[in-house]
Amino acid sequence: MRFYLDSAKVDEIAAAARLPWVAGVTTNPEILRKAGVTDFQTVLEAAAATGRRDWKLWVQLAGDSFKAIIDQVAELEEQLSTRTGGLLAGPTLVFKLPPVPEVLLAASTLIRQGKEVCITGIANSLQALSVCALPTVLEYGD
Interval 11-57: pLDDT, tens: 999 999 999 999 999 998 899 999 999 888 899 999 999 999 999 99
Distance between CA atoms of residues 8 and 25, nearest Å: 8
Is 139 a residue whose pLDDT tops 80?
no
Quote the pTM value.
0.83
Number of Cα atoms under 13 Å in the Cβ half of residue 81: 8
Residue 59 to residue 12: CA distance in whole angstroms: 17
Residue 136 pLDDT grade (very low, low, confident, very high; cuts 50, 70, 90): low
